[in-house]
Amino acid sequence: MLRTDRPLAFSRMLLAASALVLAAFGPGTHARQSAAPTIDHALEAITPAVVKGHVQFLSHDLLEGRDTGHVGYEIAREYVASQYQRMGLEAPYGFSYVQPFDLLVATADTGSRLQVGEAVVTASEAAFAPDWLGEQPLLEGQGVYAGYGLVAGDHDDYRAVTIADRVVFLLSGLPADWLADPERSLLARTKAALAFSRGAKAVVILQLDGTVRPVTRTMALADGSAPAVRPTATIGPAASRRLLAAWGVDPAQALDVAASGKPREVGSVSLRRAHAIEKGMSWNVVGVVPGTDPALRDQTVVFTAHLDHVGVGEPDETGDRIYNGTHDNALGTGKMLAAAEAMIRLKPRRTVVFVAVGAEERGLLGSWYYVHHPVGSTRDIVANINHDGGLEGPPPDDVFAFGAEYSDLGPVLGEVAEAAGMRLRTDFQSPFTAAQALLFRSDQYSFLARGIPGIYLMDGFTIAGDPERGRAQWDHYLTHVNHQQRDNFDPSWTFEAPVRMAALSVRLAWRLANADSRPKMRGGPFPQSPDAPLVVRP
Ligand SMILES: [Zn+2]
């Protein structure tokens, strides 16, 4: 049975440990105290061999891509738990490091259907979001087409229309000239949440190019929640063009019509969702380095790295059918485990928690669960530091940090990086990389979406003095390796980059764990504290 409200065991352990120290040394042990390990000593625990060992195991073919719901993930889970045990991290659940969570798994669309006037769209041309709890199988109302559904500066696609209680149709994506703007480029990801927050009954996205992926093992937590607010349905290009034509919008001019901001009434809409939904489960693996300051140790600094990947699929041209996810995210998990190996040598004032999260590839579900069922309380989570992917060879001299601009973590990391001889860099955004929207695509988002400062550390572009050398590596990785069968382990890698990034993350955590005050949120499209109500329940 899941126990998430169990009182922390580490205060008891701490008392026992203090008693032992007193018994062993009695009064007058100042010399002993002054020999407390320094951060530099602790960082000696992080070596290329340590990271390489973790990555070599976690990316092995025997784990078959660590997919949620498959035994390979469970082997990875037990590996991480045994590593925590070896290092001496405290287990938060009795003797266990394993935090189970229940899932809902939609395995197939069984007859979803959208009707707008005479036009009908079914699952062969659209992806319908499952109605997880069976609360709204049928949605009916007046429909309105509101262009891109964007509000920024003096642009407001909703200025001429009320969308409360209506079914809203929106074009996917953004106007081309918004892509290069770091702030505006994020809005493509938040438009469904914005429409729901204004009372929309359903949000239907019209996609004019590409393909729409049907529901196959789409997942949510057992309460139907996920950190990202998903549209009710996404319609593929052929059907989207049919609908637009029926509304008198020339698909070739759909972008212009959207830009004009003139909404179109589209008549009555009926949207029925039907899916086969099964129960599933997965696990986070949680280890604790207890804090030492009675006034601060209830607060936690939380490391995350997702342990899952996407399993097996069709063979590629070499016959490889295993998505080993070596960079994504055996490498990030290896960095986090190496960070734990250093942190356990230290005595932080606040508690530091290491969480290898499950079901990240299924919508950041393990981290979303953890945020709501943490060690301690949600409002006592001070910050999240996330490792996901990265470079595996020569070390970078600079670092990117997705999410840094939305909390005090940015300036703090800037100082910590400088002290470590590195530089915080902010120019990752480009039309290419903005489309990746990495801020939204890894576990720090689960924390930010709950109003908790979160940061995703990523190797910078400066390698061996060349400020652009890493850019080509990143572009190659994101285009040709990430989420492909060829993301395989290579024993010739030097693992210097992960050592530098893991060490930087420990320096950051050490600073956050010992500071008198905790970091605060600084705006952005997020709640500003965990106490703020969620804008929309997904
Ligand atoms: Zn990843």
Distance 439 CA to ligand 1 centre (A): 12
Q: Is the peptide bond before 329 cis (omega within 30 degrees of 0)?
A: yes
Under a CB-based contact definition with an 8 Å cutoff, are residues 67 and 312 in contact? yes
Compute, in angstroms, the gap from residue 90 CA to the centroid of ligand 1: 26
The neighbourhood of ligand 1, an ion, using CB within 5 A, equals 328-329, 388
Between CA 386 and CA 376 the distance in angstroms is 19
Amino acid letter, residue 314: E
Ligand 1 geometric centre to CA of 306 (Å): 7
pLDDT digits (tens, 9 = 90+) for 271-290: 999 999 999 999 999 999 99
Would the pLDDT of 175 be above 90?
Answer: no
Q: Please classify residue 72 by burial: count the beta carbons closer than 10 Å to its beta carbon, then call 0-12 exposed, 13-18 middle and 19+ buried.
A: buried
Residue 17 pLDDT > 50: no
Distance 444 CA to ligand 1 centre (A): 11
Region 203-220 average pLDDT: 90
Q: What is the mean pLDDT of residues 389-393?
A: 94
Spatial separation of the C-alpha atoms in residues 151 and 43, rounded to whole Å: 46
- Residue 433: pLDDT over 60: no
- In the reported structure, the alpha carbon of residue 247 is separated from the centroid of ligand 1 by a whole-number distance in angstroms of 40
Distance of CA 121 from the midpoint of ligand 1 (Å): 33
Q: How far is the CA of 430 from the centre of ligand 1 (A)?
A: 20
Distance CA 353, CA 365 (A): 18
pLDDT in tens, 82-140: 999 999 999 999 999 999 999 999 999 999 999 999 999 999 999 999 999 999 989 99
pLDDT value of position 436: 55
pLDDT 10s digits, 227-255: 888 899 999 999 999 999 898 887 666 66
The predicted pLDDT at position 160 comes to 85
Instruction: For residue 227, report the distance from its CA to the centre of ligand 1, in Å.
Output: 16
Question: Cβ neighbours of residue 374 under 8 Å, at least 6 residues apart?
Answer: 300, 302, 353, 380, 381
What is the CA(440)–ligand 1 centre distance, in A? 11
507 torsion bin: left (phi>0), alpha (psi -120 to 50), beta (else): alpha
How close is the Cα of 389 to the center of ligand 1, in Å? 6
Percent of the chain residues topping a pLDDT of 90: 69
CA angle 515-516-521, nearest 5°? 75
Round to whole Å and give the CA distance between 413 and 399.
9
Cα(299) to ligand 1 centroid in Å equals 27
Rounded distance from Cα 330 to ligand 1 centre (Å): 9
pLDDT confidence of residue 184: 80
Q: Ligand 1 mean position to 479 CA, how many Å?
A: 14
pLDDT band at residue 154 under the 50/70/90 scheme: confident
Confidence (pLDDT) at 252: 66
Residue 384 has a pLDDT of 98
Exposed (0-12), middle (13-18) or buried (19+): which is 460, by Cβ within 10 Å?
buried
Instruction: Tell me how far the alpha carbon of residue 171 lies from the centroid of ligand 1, in angstroms.
Output: 28
Could you give the CA distance from residue 402 to residue 457 in angstroms, rounded to a whole number? Answer: 7
Dihedral angle sign, alpha carbons of residues 124, 483, 180, 410: positive
Range of lowest pLDDT (21-25, 136-140, 313-317): 21-25
CA of 388 to the centre of ligand 1 (A): 5
- Ligand 1 centre from 506 Cα, in Å? 20
- The average confidence (pLDDT) of the chain is 89
Alpha carbon of 391 to ligand 1 centroid (Å): 13
> Mean pLDDT across the stretch 293-314?
97
C-alpha 324 to ligand 1 mean position (Å): 12
CA of 158 to the centre of ligand 1 (A): 35
DSSP 240-281: HHHHHHHTT--GGGHHHHHHHT--EEEEEEEEE--EEEEEEE
The pLDDT confidence band at residue 260, using thresholds 50, 70 and 90, is low
Show the domains of the chain with their CATH numbers: 54-97+286-346+391-424+432-451+466-533 (no CATH), 106-276 (3.50.30.30)
> pLDDT exceeding 70 applies to what percent of the chain?
88
Report the separation in Å between the CA atom of 39 and the middle of ligand 1, taken as the mean of its atom positions: 28
- Output b/e per residue, 464-489; b: 16+ Cβ within 10 A: eeeeeebbebbeebbeebbebbebbb
Cα 141 to averaged position of ligand 1 atoms, centre (Å): 39
Mean pLDDT of 356-368: 97
**pLDDT score for 255:** 64
Burial class (CB in 10 A: 0-12, 13-18, 19+), 337: buried
> Distance, CA 442 to ligand 1 centroid (Å)?
6
Q: What separation in Å is there between the alpha carbon of 443 and the centre of ligand 1? A: 9
What does the pLDDT average to over 51-80? Answer: 98
Q: Name residue, tokens 């910590």.
A: 416
